[in-house]
Amino acid sequence: MKTILVHALVFLCFFAQYACSNSIEKDASSHFVKADTLVTTFAKNFTAVKQGDLIILTIGDAWRDAKEKFRYVLYPKGTKAPDGFENAVKIAVPLDRVICTGTSQIAFMDFIESIDKIVAISDGKYVYNEKIRKRMQSGNLPELGNDQGLNYEKALSVNPELVFVFSFGRTQSHKKFESLGIPVVMISEFMEDSPLGRAEWAVFMSYFFEKSDQAQKEFNQISKKYLEIKQLSKDISIEQKPKVLVGMAQEGSWFVPGGKSYTAQFIADAGGIYPWADNTEKGGIPIDFESVLYKAQSADIWLNVVLAKNKKDLLNADSRYTAFKAFKNSEIYSYTARISENGGYDFYESAIVRPDLVLADMIKILYPEKLPEHKLYYYEHMKE
Protein backbone atom coordinates (compact mmCIF):
# COMPACT_ATOMS: atom_id res chain seq x y z
CA MET A 1 0.00 0.00 0.00
CA LYS A 2 2.82 2.35 0.93
CA THR A 3 4.54 1.62 -2.39
CA ILE A 4 1.35 2.41 -4.26
CA LEU A 5 1.04 5.76 -2.43
CA VAL A 6 4.64 6.67 -3.20
CA HIS A 7 4.17 5.87 -6.88
CA ALA A 8 0.94 7.87 -6.89
CA LEU A 9 2.64 10.91 -5.35
CA VAL A 10 5.52 10.70 -7.81
CA PHE A 11 3.06 10.48 -10.68
CA LEU A 12 1.06 13.47 -9.41
CA CYS A 13 4.21 15.55 -8.98
CA PHE A 14 5.40 14.60 -12.45
CA PHE A 15 1.99 15.36 -13.95
CA ALA A 16 1.83 18.72 -12.17
CA GLN A 17 5.35 19.61 -13.31
CA TYR A 18 4.52 18.59 -16.88
CA ALA A 19 1.28 20.53 -16.90
CA CYS A 20 3.01 23.59 -15.45
CA SER A 21 5.93 23.47 -17.89
CA ASN A 22 3.56 22.83 -20.78
CA SER A 23 1.50 25.86 -19.76
CA ILE A 24 4.60 28.04 -19.59
CA GLU A 25 5.74 26.77 -22.95
CA LYS A 26 2.33 27.54 -24.42
CA ASP A 27 2.34 31.05 -22.98
CA ALA A 28 5.88 31.55 -24.18
CA SER A 29 4.99 30.42 -27.67
CA SER A 30 2.29 33.07 -27.92
CA HIS A 31 4.61 35.91 -26.91
CA PHE A 32 8.03 34.85 -28.09
CA VAL A 33 7.31 33.54 -31.54
CA LYS A 34 9.61 34.41 -34.41
CA ALA A 35 9.62 38.11 -35.23
CA ASP A 36 9.68 39.26 -38.84
CA THR A 37 10.75 42.79 -39.71
CA LEU A 38 8.35 44.47 -42.10
CA VAL A 39 10.58 46.28 -44.59
CA THR A 40 10.26 50.03 -45.06
CA THR A 41 11.57 51.07 -48.45
CA PHE A 42 12.25 54.77 -47.92
CA ALA A 43 11.25 55.74 -44.36
CA LYS A 44 14.19 55.69 -41.95
CA ASN A 45 12.52 56.96 -38.81
CA PHE A 46 10.28 54.04 -37.92
CA THR A 47 10.47 50.27 -37.90
CA ALA A 48 7.69 47.70 -37.97
CA VAL A 49 7.99 44.12 -36.73
CA LYS A 50 5.37 41.38 -36.97
CA GLN A 51 5.47 38.89 -34.10
CA GLY A 52 2.63 36.39 -34.27
CA ASP A 53 -0.54 38.43 -34.16
CA LEU A 54 1.31 41.49 -32.83
CA ILE A 55 2.69 44.49 -34.72
CA ILE A 56 5.52 46.30 -32.92
CA LEU A 57 6.22 49.85 -34.11
CA THR A 58 9.26 51.85 -32.99
CA ILE A 59 10.04 55.50 -33.74
CA GLY A 60 13.63 56.62 -34.12
CA ASP A 61 13.51 60.36 -33.40
CA ALA A 62 10.12 61.82 -32.54
CA TRP A 63 11.56 65.30 -32.98
CA ARG A 64 14.95 66.89 -33.32
CA ASP A 65 17.26 65.98 -30.41
CA ALA A 66 14.44 64.01 -28.74
CA LYS A 67 15.57 61.95 -25.78
CA GLU A 68 12.27 60.15 -25.27
CA LYS A 69 11.76 56.91 -27.18
CA PHE A 70 8.38 55.70 -28.39
CA ARG A 71 7.29 52.13 -29.01
CA TYR A 72 3.84 50.71 -29.71
CA VAL A 73 2.55 47.15 -29.57
CA LEU A 74 -0.61 46.57 -31.57
CA TYR A 75 -2.71 43.52 -30.72
CA PRO A 76 -6.10 42.28 -32.02
CA LYS A 77 -9.09 43.99 -30.47
CA GLY A 78 -11.09 41.58 -28.31
CA THR A 79 -8.02 39.69 -27.15
CA LYS A 80 -5.92 40.04 -24.00
CA ALA A 81 -3.12 42.60 -24.10
CA PRO A 82 0.24 40.83 -24.41
CA ASP A 83 2.50 40.43 -21.39
CA GLY A 84 5.87 42.10 -21.33
CA PHE A 85 6.78 45.11 -23.48
CA GLU A 86 6.90 47.25 -20.33
CA ASN A 87 8.24 50.33 -22.12
CA ALA A 88 5.66 50.24 -24.91
CA VAL A 89 2.12 51.53 -25.33
CA LYS A 90 -0.22 48.60 -25.97
CA ILE A 91 -3.06 49.36 -28.38
CA ALA A 92 -5.98 47.16 -29.41
CA VAL A 93 -6.65 47.41 -33.15
CA PRO A 94 -8.38 48.17 -35.43
CA LEU A 95 -9.21 51.60 -34.06
CA ASP A 96 -12.61 53.22 -34.53
CA ARG A 97 -12.29 56.58 -32.77
CA VAL A 98 -9.18 58.75 -33.03
CA ILE A 99 -8.18 62.39 -32.62
CA CYS A 100 -5.79 63.99 -35.12
CA THR A 101 -3.70 67.01 -34.14
CA GLY A 102 -1.92 67.69 -37.44
CA THR A 103 -2.86 68.16 -41.10
CA SER A 104 -0.41 65.51 -42.27
CA GLN A 105 -2.27 63.00 -40.10
CA ILE A 106 -5.50 63.93 -41.88
CA ALA A 107 -3.77 63.28 -45.21
CA PHE A 108 -2.59 59.87 -44.04
CA MET A 109 -6.07 58.99 -42.74
CA ASP A 110 -7.62 59.99 -46.05
CA PHE A 111 -5.01 57.98 -47.94
CA ILE A 112 -5.89 54.79 -46.02
CA GLU A 113 -9.63 55.52 -46.35
CA SER A 114 -10.15 55.89 -42.60
CA ILE A 115 -11.04 59.55 -42.36
CA ASP A 116 -14.44 58.60 -40.92
CA LYS A 117 -12.60 57.31 -37.84
CA ILE A 118 -11.54 60.85 -36.88
CA VAL A 119 -13.78 62.10 -34.04
CA ALA A 120 -12.00 65.41 -33.31
CA ILE A 121 -9.13 67.50 -34.65
CA SER A 122 -6.98 70.33 -33.38
CA ASP A 123 -6.08 73.53 -35.22
CA GLY A 124 -8.76 72.91 -37.83
CA LYS A 125 -8.81 76.52 -38.97
CA TYR A 126 -6.48 75.89 -41.89
CA VAL A 127 -7.51 72.38 -42.93
CA TYR A 128 -7.84 71.89 -46.68
CA ASN A 129 -9.54 68.48 -46.78
CA GLU A 130 -13.10 69.08 -47.96
CA LYS A 131 -14.58 66.09 -46.12
CA ILE A 132 -13.14 67.33 -42.84
CA ARG A 133 -14.29 70.91 -43.44
CA LYS A 134 -17.84 69.78 -44.22
CA ARG A 135 -17.99 67.76 -41.01
CA MET A 136 -16.70 70.74 -39.05
CA GLN A 137 -19.22 73.10 -40.65
CA SER A 138 -22.10 70.73 -39.88
CA GLY A 139 -20.99 70.49 -36.26
CA ASN A 140 -20.20 66.77 -36.52
CA LEU A 141 -16.48 67.15 -35.93
CA PRO A 142 -15.30 69.02 -32.80
CA GLU A 143 -12.30 71.34 -33.07
CA LEU A 144 -10.01 71.32 -30.02
CA GLY A 145 -8.04 74.52 -30.58
CA ASN A 146 -4.32 74.70 -31.26
CA ASP A 147 -1.37 73.06 -29.56
CA GLN A 148 -0.79 76.04 -27.29
CA GLY A 149 -4.27 75.78 -25.77
CA LEU A 150 -5.93 72.44 -26.50
CA ASN A 151 -9.36 71.83 -24.99
CA TYR A 152 -8.64 68.56 -23.22
CA GLU A 153 -12.10 68.43 -21.64
CA LYS A 154 -13.66 68.44 -25.10
CA ALA A 155 -11.16 65.79 -26.18
CA LEU A 156 -12.37 63.52 -23.37
CA SER A 157 -16.00 64.13 -24.34
CA VAL A 158 -15.60 62.45 -27.74
CA ASN A 159 -14.40 59.24 -26.06
CA PRO A 160 -11.32 58.63 -28.25
CA GLU A 161 -9.45 55.35 -28.29
CA LEU A 162 -6.24 57.14 -29.24
CA VAL A 163 -4.71 60.51 -30.14
CA PHE A 164 -2.22 61.00 -32.95
CA VAL A 165 0.14 63.84 -32.02
CA PHE A 166 3.38 65.46 -33.15
CA SER A 167 5.92 67.56 -31.35
CA PHE A 168 8.87 69.75 -32.20
CA GLY A 169 10.08 69.38 -28.62
CA ARG A 170 8.72 72.70 -27.39
CA THR A 171 5.24 71.45 -26.49
CA GLN A 172 4.36 68.29 -24.61
CA SER A 173 0.66 67.77 -25.31
CA HIS A 174 1.25 64.02 -25.49
CA LYS A 175 2.02 63.94 -21.77
CA LYS A 176 -1.23 65.74 -20.96
CA PHE A 177 -3.26 63.28 -23.01
CA GLU A 178 -1.47 60.39 -21.31
CA SER A 179 -2.26 61.84 -17.88
CA LEU A 180 -5.94 61.78 -18.87
CA GLY A 181 -5.71 58.09 -19.70
CA ILE A 182 -5.84 58.51 -23.48
CA PRO A 183 -3.23 56.48 -25.41
CA VAL A 184 -1.00 58.65 -27.58
CA VAL A 185 0.96 57.86 -30.75
CA MET A 186 3.66 60.15 -32.16
CA ILE A 187 3.57 60.85 -35.89
CA SER A 188 7.00 62.14 -36.92
CA GLU A 189 7.01 62.02 -40.70
CA PHE A 190 8.61 65.49 -40.78
CA MET A 191 11.83 63.97 -39.47
CA GLU A 192 12.31 62.06 -42.74
CA ASP A 193 14.71 63.67 -45.19
CA SER A 194 13.11 62.35 -48.37
CA PRO A 195 9.66 62.89 -49.94
CA LEU A 196 9.02 59.16 -50.28
CA GLY A 197 10.17 58.62 -46.70
CA ARG A 198 7.52 61.05 -45.49
CA ALA A 199 4.84 59.48 -47.67
CA GLU A 200 5.62 56.00 -46.31
CA TRP A 201 4.30 57.08 -42.92
CA ALA A 202 0.87 56.40 -44.39
CA VAL A 203 1.83 52.73 -44.02
CA PHE A 204 2.79 53.38 -40.39
CA MET A 205 -0.69 54.82 -39.76
CA SER A 206 -2.38 51.96 -41.60
CA TYR A 207 -1.29 49.38 -39.00
CA PHE A 208 -3.63 50.97 -36.46
CA PHE A 209 -6.60 50.26 -38.73
CA GLU A 210 -5.48 46.88 -40.11
CA LYS A 211 -5.18 48.31 -43.61
CA SER A 212 -1.47 47.83 -44.18
CA ASP A 213 -1.80 45.56 -47.22
CA GLN A 214 -3.80 48.08 -49.20
CA ALA A 215 -1.72 51.02 -47.97
CA GLN A 216 1.51 49.28 -48.94
CA LYS A 217 0.13 48.46 -52.38
CA GLU A 218 -0.90 52.06 -53.07
CA PHE A 219 2.34 53.46 -51.68
CA ASN A 220 4.32 51.13 -53.94
CA GLN A 221 2.43 52.50 -56.94
CA ILE A 222 3.16 56.09 -55.93
CA SER A 223 6.85 55.41 -55.27
CA LYS A 224 7.10 53.70 -58.66
CA LYS A 225 5.62 56.78 -60.37
CA TYR A 226 7.96 59.04 -58.43
CA LEU A 227 11.05 57.09 -59.47
CA GLU A 228 9.89 57.02 -63.11
CA ILE A 229 9.45 60.81 -63.11
CA LYS A 230 12.84 61.22 -61.44
CA GLN A 231 14.45 59.44 -64.40
CA LEU A 232 13.40 62.29 -66.70
CA SER A 233 16.21 64.50 -65.36
CA LYS A 234 18.79 61.75 -64.98
CA ASP A 235 20.92 62.46 -68.05
CA ILE A 236 20.90 66.25 -67.92
CA SER A 237 24.41 67.71 -67.72
CA ILE A 238 25.40 69.93 -64.81
CA GLU A 239 25.77 72.87 -67.22
CA GLN A 240 22.14 72.58 -68.27
CA LYS A 241 20.67 72.26 -64.80
CA PRO A 242 18.90 75.39 -63.49
CA LYS A 243 19.77 76.86 -60.11
CA VAL A 244 16.83 76.97 -57.70
CA LEU A 245 16.12 79.48 -54.93
CA VAL A 246 13.52 78.75 -52.22
CA GLY A 247 11.42 80.94 -49.92
CA MET A 248 11.69 84.62 -49.04
CA ALA A 249 12.82 86.83 -46.17
CA GLN A 250 10.70 87.16 -43.05
CA GLU A 251 11.41 89.61 -40.23
CA GLY A 252 15.02 90.07 -41.22
CA SER A 253 15.91 86.41 -41.85
CA TRP A 254 15.59 84.16 -44.85
CA PHE A 255 14.96 80.57 -43.77
CA VAL A 256 16.33 78.44 -46.58
CA PRO A 257 15.75 74.65 -46.43
CA GLY A 258 18.73 72.66 -45.20
CA GLY A 259 20.71 70.57 -47.62
CA LYS A 260 19.31 67.36 -46.08
CA SER A 261 15.70 68.56 -46.13
CA TYR A 262 12.98 66.96 -48.19
CA THR A 263 12.72 70.21 -50.21
CA ALA A 264 16.37 69.93 -51.18
CA GLN A 265 15.73 66.31 -52.13
CA PHE A 266 12.80 67.34 -54.35
CA ILE A 267 15.03 69.84 -56.15
CA ALA A 268 17.80 67.28 -56.63
CA ASP A 269 15.36 64.66 -57.92
CA ALA A 270 13.86 67.20 -60.32
CA GLY A 271 17.31 67.94 -61.72
CA GLY A 272 17.89 71.32 -60.16
CA ILE A 273 20.94 72.82 -58.48
CA TYR A 274 20.32 73.93 -54.92
CA PRO A 275 22.84 76.48 -53.59
CA TRP A 276 22.75 75.00 -50.08
CA ALA A 277 22.87 71.36 -51.13
CA ASP A 278 26.10 70.77 -49.20
CA ASN A 279 24.49 71.86 -45.93
CA THR A 280 23.82 69.05 -43.43
CA GLU A 281 20.66 70.44 -41.78
CA LYS A 282 17.21 68.92 -42.26
CA GLY A 283 15.26 71.98 -41.16
CA GLY A 284 15.36 75.65 -42.13
CA ILE A 285 18.56 77.69 -41.90
CA PRO A 286 18.23 81.38 -40.97
CA ILE A 287 20.39 83.48 -43.29
CA ASP A 288 20.52 87.24 -43.76
CA PHE A 289 19.24 88.75 -47.00
CA GLU A 290 22.66 89.82 -48.26
CA SER A 291 24.09 86.29 -47.92
CA VAL A 292 21.18 84.80 -49.87
CA LEU A 293 21.59 87.46 -52.56
CA TYR A 294 25.31 86.72 -52.82
CA LYS A 295 24.77 82.97 -53.20
CA ALA A 296 21.53 82.80 -55.21
CA GLN A 297 21.27 86.03 -57.16
CA SER A 298 21.77 84.07 -60.39
CA ALA A 299 19.12 81.44 -59.56
CA ASP A 300 17.02 80.60 -62.61
CA ILE A 301 13.93 79.43 -60.71
CA TRP A 302 12.40 80.78 -57.49
CA LEU A 303 10.07 78.48 -55.56
CA ASN A 304 7.73 78.68 -52.55
CA VAL A 305 7.20 82.42 -52.33
CA VAL A 306 3.87 81.93 -50.54
CA LEU A 307 3.84 85.22 -48.60
CA ALA A 308 3.40 87.25 -51.78
CA LYS A 309 0.59 86.98 -54.32
CA ASN A 310 2.42 88.82 -57.08
CA LYS A 311 5.65 90.62 -57.92
CA LYS A 312 4.23 93.89 -56.66
CA ASP A 313 3.82 92.33 -53.21
CA LEU A 314 7.45 91.26 -53.34
CA LEU A 315 8.62 94.77 -54.16
CA ASN A 316 6.51 96.22 -51.37
CA ALA A 317 8.14 93.75 -48.98
CA ASP A 318 11.71 94.53 -50.10
CA SER A 319 12.87 96.33 -53.22
CA ARG A 320 16.12 94.29 -53.23
CA TYR A 321 14.20 91.34 -54.71
CA THR A 322 14.62 93.05 -58.09
CA ALA A 323 18.29 92.01 -58.02
CA PHE A 324 17.41 88.33 -58.43
CA LYS A 325 17.56 86.88 -61.92
CA ALA A 326 14.40 84.82 -61.33
CA PHE A 327 12.51 88.00 -60.40
CA LYS A 328 13.65 89.80 -63.53
CA ASN A 329 12.64 86.84 -65.71
CA SER A 330 9.36 86.22 -63.80
CA GLU A 331 10.35 82.62 -63.05
CA ILE A 332 8.61 82.52 -59.66
CA TYR A 333 6.34 79.68 -58.54
CA SER A 334 4.44 78.81 -55.37
CA TYR A 335 2.36 75.90 -54.10
CA THR A 336 -0.78 78.05 -54.05
CA ALA A 337 -2.82 76.32 -56.76
CA ARG A 338 -4.82 74.35 -54.20
CA ILE A 339 -5.94 76.52 -51.30
CA SER A 340 -9.29 76.49 -49.51
CA GLU A 341 -11.39 79.57 -48.80
CA ASN A 342 -10.24 79.38 -45.18
CA GLY A 343 -6.58 79.54 -46.19
CA GLY A 344 -5.66 75.85 -45.98
CA TYR A 345 -2.93 74.66 -48.37
CA ASP A 346 -3.33 71.20 -49.83
CA PHE A 347 0.45 71.19 -50.19
CA TYR A 348 0.60 70.53 -46.44
CA GLU A 349 -1.90 67.69 -46.70
CA SER A 350 -2.35 65.50 -49.77
CA ALA A 351 1.03 66.49 -51.22
CA ILE A 352 2.67 64.58 -48.38
CA VAL A 353 1.22 61.32 -49.68
CA ARG A 354 1.50 62.31 -53.36
CA PRO A 355 5.15 63.31 -53.77
CA ASP A 356 4.95 62.01 -57.34
CA LEU A 357 2.64 64.92 -58.23
CA VAL A 358 4.93 67.43 -56.50
CA LEU A 359 7.93 66.10 -58.42
CA ALA A 360 5.96 66.22 -61.67
CA ASP A 361 5.20 69.89 -60.97
CA MET A 362 8.87 70.63 -60.33
CA ILE A 363 9.98 68.83 -63.49
CA LYS A 364 7.37 70.82 -65.43
CA ILE A 365 8.75 74.06 -63.98
CA LEU A 366 12.43 73.23 -64.51
CA TYR A 367 12.11 71.32 -67.80
CA PRO A 368 8.71 72.00 -69.43
CA GLU A 369 9.56 69.86 -72.45
CA LYS A 370 10.03 66.75 -70.29
CA LEU A 371 6.35 66.60 -69.29
CA PRO A 372 4.47 68.41 -72.07
CA GLU A 373 1.05 67.03 -71.06
CA HIS A 374 1.36 67.69 -67.35
CA LYS A 375 -0.57 70.60 -65.87
CA LEU A 376 0.70 72.07 -62.62
CA TYR A 377 -1.25 70.55 -59.73
CA TYR A 378 0.05 72.10 -56.49
CA TYR A 379 2.17 74.88 -57.99
CA GLU A 380 1.27 77.94 -60.06
CA HIS A 381 3.20 80.68 -61.75
CA MET A 382 3.31 83.96 -59.83
CA LYS A 383 1.34 86.77 -61.41
CA GLU A 384 2.95 90.05 -62.36
Residues 179 and 257 in one domain: no
Q: What pLDDT, on a 0 to 100 scale, did the predictor assign at position 173?
A: 76
Residues 219 and 271 in one domain: no
Q: What pLDDT, on a 0 to 100 scale, did the predictor assign at position 20?
A: 39
Q: For the purposes of burial, counting CB atoms within 10 Å of the CB of 248, is it exposed (0-12), middle (13-18) or buried (19 or more)?
A: buried
Residues 208 and 265 in one domain: no
Name residues of the chain where pLDDT drops below 50: 1-31
Contacts within 8 Å (CB) and 24+ apart, 256-260: 256/284, 256/285, 256/287, 256/292, 257/283, 257/284, 257/285, 258/282, 258/283, 258/284, 258/285, 260/193
In a domain, 21, yes or no: no
Residues 108 and 202 in one domain: yes
Q: What pLDDT, on a 0 to 100 scale, did the predictor assign at position 167?
A: 87
In a domain, 107, yes or no: yes
The domain boundary residue, chosen from 197, 224, 251: 224
CATH number at residue 245: 3.40.50.1980
Exposure string of 187-222, with b = 16+ CB inside 10 Å and e = fewer, is: bbbbbbbbbbbbbbbbbbbbbbbbbbeebbebbeeb
Residues 220 and 83 in one domain: yes
List, for residues 304-320, the tens digit of each pLDDT value.
999 999 999 999 999 99
Q: What pLDDT, on a 0 to 100 scale, did the predictor assign at position 32?
A: 55
Residues 376 and 249 in one domain: yes
Residues 56 and 148 in one domain: yes
Q: What pLDDT, on a 0 to 100 scale, did the predictor assign at position 317?
A: 94
Closest CA to 306 of 374, 364, 379: 379
**Letter for the amino acid at 39?**
V
Distances (CA, A) of 341 to 58, 126, 214: 38, 9, 32
State how many domains the chain has.
Answer: 2
Cα angle 366-367-372, degrees, rounded to a multiple of 5: 130
Distances (CA, A) of 172 to 53, 148, 157: 32, 10, 21
Distances (CA, A) of 13 to 4, 10, 24, 27, 332: 14, 5, 16, 21, 84
In a domain, 1, yes or no: no
Q: What pLDDT, on a 0 to 100 scale, did the predictor assign at position 27?
A: 34
What is the number of alpha carbons within 13 Å of residue 235 lying toward its C-beta?
Answer: 2
Q: Which domain range does residue 83 map to?
A: 35-224
Residues 198 and 64 in one domain: yes
Residues 68 and 130 in one domain: yes
Residues 119 and 46 in one domain: yes
The domain boundary residue, chosen from 174, 202, 224: 224
In a domain, 26, yes or no: no
**Letter for the amino acid at 179?**
S
Q: What pLDDT, on a 0 to 100 scale, did the predictor assign at position 171?
A: 63
Residues 202 and 155 in one domain: yes
Query: Could you tell me which residues come within 8 angstroms of residue 259 by beta carbon, excluding any fewer than 6 positions away?
Result: 274, 276, 277, 278, 279, 280, 281
Residues 214 and 69 in one domain: yes
SS3 109: helix
